Chain A
Amino acid sequence: MKDLTDAMADMNEDKALELTQKYLDEGESPVEIFRAYQAAMEEIGKRFEQNLYFVPELIMAGEMMKAGAGLIKPHLKDDDDGGGAGKIGKFLIATIEGDIHDIGKNIMGMMLDLNGFEVMDLGVDVPLQKIVDAAKEFKPNVIGLSGLLTLAFDPMKALVDKLKDEGVRDDYKVIIGGAQMDQHVCDYVGADAWVTDAVAGVNQSKAWVAA
């Protein structure tokens, strides 16, 4: 089904849907068809990293994935959770208190979802305690803190300190994301990793849950 993967990766929406329908009609396994989509997502992520694709391609890929899933789902058996790919991990995401920027957070959440993560999104300007409480309840593999402003650095550090105080720091990986992140900020905050775009964030998170 390389043609399906290529059609999706090349942003040929009509062709991807047409091929999806064709393979379903021919009795191909819905799980395999779904995997063709996931292979395309990998390729799209690579092209994003190479500055060939940009945010609109990521968003359009999300739409195409949704449309494809709509065709595939009725063919799935009940025990085939999410196209047989299953969920690969849990991710808790929030824009930290003091910051209201949500574009990066939303794109990250969407990309994680497309890549098989179960995502809990707490929104923007989220108080520290709410994040800690949600983490204990949801038990994510990764906590992702988004923030664009330098003002977000201190609350991010405070959250990591809070996780330490409550003795749960090692239960989660903590990743910080935003245009101004770098190793210096990451060290200051006490996070496990920093990223400046969603694709890098997804790749890091996948590496963690695979380890």
Chain B
Amino acid sequence: MIVIAEKINGTRKAVAKAIREKDADFIRDLAKTQADAGSTYLDVNAGTAPERESDDMIWLVNTIQEVCELPLALDSANPQALKAGLAVAAKKPMINSVSGEQSRIDGVLPLALEYKTELILLALDDHGIPENVEGRLKIVRDLVKRALDGGLEQKQLYIDPLVTAISTGTENAKITFGTIEAIIDEFPDVHITGGASNISFGMPLRPLINRFFIAMAIQAGMDSAIINPNDRELNEAIMTAETLMGRDKFCMNFNRAFRAGKIGPKKPE
């Protein structure tokens, strides 16, 4: 599982405060704990007003890189902020994200093509998130074509089929699973990523729903996730699903994780 760790996000209040107050210890600690949990990428979203987002992005990237060598996923809709991040990133980062919204196609996609970065593509456009598989697939198809025409390879693309709350639509999880299957059918070498928590908005027992959702998404073909990597129970669900889907030779990842105390009952300190 390719884990894109989500916690360094300025649209979260605690992180917004840390950015405002230039609390480098807070950010370094977030980077370190997420890296230690086995993340593949660290998402970086400055989440601030456009006039200061570039400076905040640079500060975040530099601060994170003091303690962590993982590649980053620069998370912004603002081309200036992304450019600023690209300039200081030690390893080539992923860009999060381009959707079918015209502003992203015009502003963000050219950067990914120019820098040949990995790129997250979202199945939404200026009309919002389509409420069916066909609508989402149409957007993805167009975006993948633009990316491939621009010189990126399928394996550099991370498609987020998006998920909307099961509380507001009985079919909403199935739309996501169906979209995943349809994308893989058409573009076998792209990655499928996404978050888990939107599915359970407005419901009781949200973590339980999130765990089953992500396991079922893995069955449908998801191989990456934008999550809190320190969520032990979510990690258990992911690891178990991957093992059951035959992606864990001799079950070694699962059993090693057990021996290391990363899944199952916590070992005494």
Contacts of A51 in B (CB 8 A): 204
Contacts of A100 in B (CB 8 A): 128
Task: Flag B194-205 by CB within 8 Å of A: 1 or 0 each.
Answer: 000000011110
Known interface pairs A150-B13, A151-B11, A180-B13. Does A55 touch B49 (Cβ–Cβ under 8 Å)? no
The number of chain A residues touching the other chain, given as a range, is 10 to 19
Task: Flag B95-139 by CB within 8 Å of A: 1 or 0 each.
Answer: 000000000000000000000000000000000100000000000
Kindly provide the distance from the CB of A65 to the nearest chain B CB, expressed in whole angstroms.
17
In the complex the two chains form, is A150's CB within 8 Å of B204's CB? no
Give the distance in Å from the alpha carbon of A160 to the alpha carbon of B204 in the complex: 35
In the complex the two chains form, is A150's CB within 8 Å of B47's CB? yes
**Which single member of B12, B164, B201 contacts A150 (CB below 8 Å)?**
B12
Task: Flag B47-76 by CB within 8 Å of A: 1 or 0 each.
Answer: 111000000000000000000000000000
Q: Does B30 contact A (CB under 8 A)?
A: no
Task: Flag A70-111 by CB within 8 Å of B: 1 or 0 each.
Answer: 000000000000000000000000000000101100110000
The residues in B between 1 and 34 inclusive whose CB is less than 8 angstroms from any CB of A are 10-13, 16
Known interface pairs A103-B201, A149-B47, A150-B16. Does A55 touch B11 (Cβ–Cβ under 8 Å)? no
Quick one: closest A residue to B10, CB to CB? Answer: A150
Kindly provide the distance from the CB of A2 to the nearest chain B CB, expressed in whole angstroms.
27
In the complex the two chains form, is A56's CB within 8 Å of B202's CB? yes
Interface SS, A side = helix
Contacts of B165 in A (CB 8 A): 55, 103
Give the distance in Å from the alpha carbon of A164 to the alpha carbon of B202 in the complex: 35
In the complex the two chains form, is B11's CB within 8 Å of A149's CB? yes
Task: Flag B31-45 by CB within 8 Å of A: 1 or 0 each.
Answer: 000000000000000
Interface residues of B, count at CB 8 A: 17
Give the distance in Å from the alpha carbon of A55 to the alpha carbon of B10 in the complex: 27
Quick one: closest B residue to A182, CB to CB? Answer: B13
In the complex the two chains form, is A54's CB within 8 Å of B202's CB? yes
Q: Does B167 contact A (CB under 8 A)?
A: yes
In the complex the two chains form, is B49's CB within 8 Å of A103's CB? no
In the complex the two chains form, is A103's CB within 8 Å of B16's CB? no
Contacts of A6 in B (CB 8 A): none
Q: Does A59 contact B (CB under 8 A)?
A: yes
Contacts of B202 in A (CB 8 A): 54-56, 103, 107
Contacts of B47 in A (CB 8 A): 149-151
Give the distance in Å from the alpha carbon of A180 to the alpha carbon of B16 in the complex: 12
Quick one: closest A residue to B17, CB to CB? Answer: A150
In the complex the two chains form, is A56's CB within 8 Å of B167's CB? yes
Give the distance in Å from the alpha carbon of A154 to the alpha carbon of B203 in the complex: 29
Task: Flag A47-71 by CB within 8 Å of B: 1 or 0 each.
Answer: 0000100111001000000000000
Q: Does B255 contact A (CB under 8 A)?
A: no
In the complex the two chains form, is A150's CB within 8 Å of B167's CB? no
Contacts of A54 in B (CB 8 A): 167, 202-204
Give the distance in Å from the alpha carbon of A180 to the alpha carbon of B13 in the complex: 7
Instruction: Name B residues whose Cβ lies closer than 8 Å to a Cβ of A.
Output: 10-13, 16, 47-49, 128, 164-165, 167-168, 201-204
Instruction: Name A residues whose Cβ lies closer than 8 Å to a Cβ of B.
Output: 51, 54-56, 59, 100, 102-103, 106-107, 148-151, 154, 180
In addition to A154-B49, A180-B13, 20 A-B residue pairs with Cβ atoms within 8 Å of each other are: A51-B204, A54-B167, A54-B204, A55-B165, A55-B167, A56-B168, A59-B167, A59-B168, A100-B128, A102-B128, A103-B164, A103-B168, A103-B201, A103-B202, A148-B11, A150-B10, A150-B13, A150-B16, A151-B11, A151-B47
